[in-house]
Structure 1
């Protein structure tokens, strides 16, 4: 059974909102297409990725740098190719 019930997933969706339109579009598409299929470990990684500031987050998605954490990097790759 998942540690992330409906309410927890809703909170994560809310925290996915960004001020930069480009990020909002990327994250909205990811949430619509992939979020409900993520494992708890993948959601943990997604939440860690969300901790990045908007400019760093945009640079991540645009491939300007990668993350050392392989689980987080896997989420970034999914966002890049979403």
Structure 2
């Protein structure tokens, strides 16, 4: 990882920590496990997602509503699905 990528990654890490436990439980694991594999467009979309208000993120990530933009909706669904898959795997291991 280049120095620039490392700085970007650290910034994303801190921007993904929202101070709202529910959001942290969804965003942090997704960043750590999936971000590097995203397309450049989806990486940009993730950064755009983080620019939204916590209340909007909470509404979307709790599946109460979906973002209007179809590509942002797809990214939010990826985050939710990652959390569900990780949760199922954790329960099966127990």
TM-score by length of 1: 0.84
The alignment of Structure 1 onto Structure 2 pairs a total of residues equal to: 79
Extract structure 1 runs of 4+ deviating beyond 4 A: none
After alignment, is 33-42 or 9-18 more displaced? Answer: 9-18
Greater CA radius of gyration, 1 or 2?
Answer: 2
Distance across 2 between alignment mates of 1:67 and 1:55: 12
CA distance in 2, matches of 1:7, 1:80: 26
| Highest RCO, 1 vs 2 (Cα 8 Å, sep ≥ 6) | 1
Structure 1: gaps spanning 5 or more residues: none
Deviation string, structure 1 residues 33-78 (Cα, Å, up to 9, x no partner): 2011112100111111111211211110011111122221111001
1:40 matched residue in structure 2: 40
User: Structure 2: 5+ residue runs without aligned partners?
Assistant: 83-94
Which structure dedicates a bigger proportion of its chain to helix?
2
CA RMSD of aligned residues (A): 1.5
